[in-house]
Amino acid sequence: MREGRPRSFYVLAVFFAAYVLFLYGPMIAIYILSFQGPQGGLTFPMNGMSTYWLSKLFQGTGIVDLGAAFRRSLLLGLVVMAVTVVLSVAAGMAFRRKFKAQSILFYSAIASLIVPSIITSLGISLEFRIIDDLIKAHWNENFETSMGLLTSGLGAHLTWTLPFGLLIMFAIFNRFDPRLEEAARDLGATPWQTFRHVVLPIILPSVIGIGLFGFTLSWDELARSSQAIGSVNTLPLDLQGLTTTVTKPDIYALGTIISAVSFAVITLALGTIHMLNKRQAAKGSDAGKGLV
Amino acid sequence: MDTSDETLQQASPGLARGSGQTRQKAARLSPSFISWLQAGPMMLVFLAFFLIPLVFVVIVSFWDYNEYQLLPAFSGRGYTDTFEGCIAQLPELCTIGKTYVKTLKLCFMVWAITLFIGFWVAYFLAFHIKSKTWQMGLSLLCTIPFWTSNVIRMIAWIPLLGRNGLVNSGLLKVGVIDQPVEWLLYSEFSVVLALVHLFTFFMVVPIFNSMVRIDKSLIEAAYDAGATGFQTLVNVIIPLAKPGIVIGSIFVITIVMGDFITIGVMGGQQIAAAGKIIETRLNALQFPAAAANAVILLAITFLIITMMSRIVDIRKEL
């Protein structure tokens, strides 16, 4: 091996640092600006320091009913997270064996990931409109709509989160040692016991990662919600609506609140993953400890 | 697993499947049935919320419409309205033609820039960071913004690029310009900047994935055989990282082709693009015309992906 670091290391380190600054710099700017005084505008320099804009948001004197949108987004995010975790783990297990329709499911997931969101969103909205028309024509004339947060909205978000969940499961099982399951089976464990006591504890950190993707992608989802969510708005949709009208730091304050939730979830998830990994490293193996 | 079961069965029948009651019960569910139970729910979600909706997009694109409702009768109006004037105006490009040229141009710029940044960021992480912990930490640093809101990351450029933003006031102070530059925000420039900002992540991840799989001894071998750093890069690393490059490119290109939010917010709702036409038609409640545009966009996106996946087998790489 060559000694020391080559010059290219330093060049690329600077490049990398610049990229990270590019990623985070603008975001940090709006977090700072949301703490401006009541006279503050949309740009630097800061016009005093206060929590005026943030508290204004909480008082509900803002432009739209953000509290309701906040609760809707939270509910949807949690449901999407739960469904994504369960369905991805189940499907991930299925992919370890060969089964018919395997490639259909795989290509559906990939297509769902790369077909432009607006097309999926439009399709779901057409589907629900047609269902509504059918119900109105054949069963109930006064029927309003089957579109909603937890019907078309949930479906739209799942088409975005499930492919990520499935790909993460592929990554997990690529480095999973099947001998562990064989050992469990040899010791007389049922398939469910093998999953519950051997497979799940090992993959748990990554499963939490799937949950993290599920929640955060739903919490910030915009393109697919745009046509498919029905008459109610989620928080990102409200935020997007504000971009064209607002000229005050309200919008930064709202951005800061939304990001705070994202960062809280990210920290919680990464913290749990870290803890689980440490526990696995400490207690996962009794090799070398002799017979107990 | 299946094969090991079979071998075990042949060697000592009765051992592989155990003999307990529960074992008997589990054995009765055939493996293919279990697979269906496991994969079925996800398949159903894709069927109900992705595949059937796509079929509806295609069907509705051939329906008729008036000012306020869908008319379920065959009509090519969605398409004829979209391509209005395309033949009459030849050799001039019609509106839809111009829009697609513009979209492809944006796409190409964003692709080239994200590829450049993504490649070198991934290269740095994969080859220069030796410690696994650091590699994880720095990859996370690149991933965290992906978990936060895209709209916020767009708005975040306003205090920097606006008329009175940091860039303008900085340039004014230094004396490079004597009045604020207007094209920094709500322009093609800001659209490209925001798209690069948001989606370079989709380039970094697959390229990094390909690069960490490269056997380091190959690079040592190239070095020992007297290759320069540049030769190693061109003849060893780039060919081996190609799958990641192609997958990342597919992601970025399809995202930019269908984007309407970034182009809307960062372009001040003034720039036309393929995704934006669909949104405009939808706002006017012209569903068949929106669907027809969606079909055209889908066809072009599909064409690009097919061309690119000729280069690499996606299934093998995941």
Question: Residue B169: is it exposed, middle or buried by C-beta count within 10 angstroms (0-12/13-18/19+)?
Answer: middle
Q: Is A60 within the bounds of a domain?
A: no
Q: Is residue B69 part of a domain?
A: no
Q: Is residue B119 part of a domain?
A: yes
pLDDT digits (tens, 9 = 90+) for B39-81: 999 999 999 999 999 999 999 999 887 766 677 778 888 888 8
When divided into structural domains, chain A yields a total of 2
Same domain for B104 and B200, yes or no, is: yes
Q: Total structural domains in chain B? A: 2
Contact B41, B249 (CB under 8 A): no
CB A270, CB A209: distance < 8 Å: no
Domain that holds residue B30: 2-60
Element (H, E) at B167: helix B166-174
CA distance B250 to B21: 51
- Beta-carbon contacts of residue A40 (< 8 Å; ≥ 6 apart): A33, A46, A47, A48, A52, A53, A248, A249
Q: Which two tokens stand for residue B28?
A: 């009765």
Q: Residue B314 has what pLDDT?
A: 62
How many CB atoms lie under 10 A from the CB of residue A47? 15
How many residues appear in chain B?
A: 318
A124: closest chain B residue by CA: B53
Q: Is residue A46 located within the same domain as residue A183?
A: no
pLDDT less than 50: residues of chain A: 1
- Cα B249 vs. chain centroid, distance in angstroms? 7
Residue A252 lies in a domain: yes
**Do B204 and B259 fall into the same domain?**
yes
Neighbours of B60 (CB within 10 A): 26
Which residue range forms the structural domain that includes residue A247?
66-278
Residue A34 sits in the same domain as residue A101: no
Residues B177 and B39 occupy one common structural domain: no
- If asked whether residues A44 and A70 sit together in one domain, one would say no
A273 has a chain B CB within 8 A of its CB:
no
> Do A102 and A150 sit in the same domain of this protein?
yes
Specify if B73 maps to a domain.
no
Q: Are B56 and B183 contained in the same domain?
A: no
Q: Verify that B39 and B157 share a domain, yes or no.
A: no
B64: which DSSP letter? E
The answer to whether A34 and A248 have CB atoms below 8 angstroms apart is no
A236 and A105 in one domain? Answer: yes
Which pTM was predicted? 0.87
pLDDT of residue B12: 43
In a shared domain, residues A115 and A197 = yes
Residues A42 and A126 in one domain: no
Select the residue from B3, B15, B23, B46 to test the A interface by mutation, using most A Cβ atoms within 10 A: B46
Separation of alpha carbons B98 and B274, rounded Å: 10
Provide the H-helix boundaries in chain A: 7-33, 52-59, 66-94, 102-114, 117-138, 154-174, 179-186, 191-194, 200-219, 225-228, 235-243, 250-283
Q: Indicate the residue of B43, B150, B258 with minimum beta-carbon distance to A118.
A: B258
Same domain, B103 and B245: yes
Q: What angle do CA A239, A244, A245 make, to 5 degrees?
A: 90
Q: Which pLDDT belongs to residue A61?
A: 54
CA distance, residue B235 to nearest chain A CA (Å): 18
> For residue A117, is it within any domain?
yes
**A95 and A162 share one domain:** yes
Q: Each residue of A62-91: b (16+ CB within 10 Å) or e?
A: bebebeebbebbbebbebbbebbbebbbbb
Residue A49, SS3?
strand
Residue of B36, B120, B147 best to disrupt the A interface, most CBs of A under 10 A: B147
Rounded to 5°, the CA angle A58-A60-A61 comes to: 120
* CATH assignment at residue A238: 1.10.3720.10
The answer to whether residues A72 and A40 belong to one domain is no
Q: Is residue A288 part of a domain?
A: no
Question: Are B149 and A262 an interchain contact pair (Cβ–Cβ within 8 Å)?
Answer: yes
Q: Are residues B121 and A19, on separate chains, in Cβ contact within 8 Å? A: yes
Does B205 lie in the same domain as B119? yes
Asked if the C-beta of A281 comes within 8 angstroms of chain B's C-beta atoms, the answer is no
Same domain, A131 and A82: yes
Locus of tokens 């779901």:
A124
Residue A54 touches chain B, beta carbons under 8 Å: no
- Is residue A3 in some structural domain? no
| Last-in-domain residue among B17, B40, B60 | B60
Same domain, residue pair A29 and A111: no
Give pLDDT, residue B168: 84
Is B72 contained in some domain?
no
- Asked whether residue A119 is domain-assigned, the answer is yes
Q: By the CB < 8 Å criterion, does A213 face chain B?
A: yes
Please indicate, yes or no, if residue B82 is contained in any of the structural domains. no
On whether both A127 and A35 belong to a single domain, the answer is no
Note whether residue A58 is domain-resident. Answer: no
Which residues of chain B have a pLDDT value below 50? 1-26
- Among candidate residues A8, A88, A243, A47, the one with its CA nearest the CA of residue B153: A243
Q: Residue A99 falls within a domain, yes or no?
A: yes
CA distances from B43 to A87, A266, A276 (A): 9, 28, 31
Q: Considering only residues 163 to 192 of chain A, which have any Cβ-Cβ distance to chain B shorter than 8 Å?
A: 166-167, 170, 178, 181-182, 185, 188, 190-191
B311 and B166 in one domain? yes
Pairing between strand B63-65 and B70-74?
antiparallel
How far, in Å, CA of B177 to CA of B36, rounded? 66
Long-range contacts of A41-48 (CB under 8 A, 24+ apart): A41/A247, A41/A248, A41/A249, A41/B164, A42/A247, A42/A248, A42/A249, A42/A252, A42/B158, A42/B159, A42/B162, A43/B158, A43/B159, A43/B162, A43/B164, A43/B165, A43/B166, A44/B159, A44/B165, A44/B166, A44/B169
Question: Is residue A173 classed exposed, middle or buried when 0-12, 13-18 and 19+ CB atoms within 10 A define those classes?
Answer: middle
Model pLDDT, residue A82: 97
| Longest alpha-carbon distance in chain A | 80
Residues of A in contact with B297 (CB under 8 A): 116, 119
Give the 3-state secondary structure of residue B72: strand
Q: What is the pLDDT of residue A289?
A: 64
Give domain status of residue B66, yes or no.
no
- C-beta separation of B42 from A85 below 8 A: no
Q: Which two tokens stand for residue A259?
A: 């990001």
Domain of residue B307, CATH code: 1.10.3720.10
Q: Do residues B111 and B235 share a domain?
A: yes
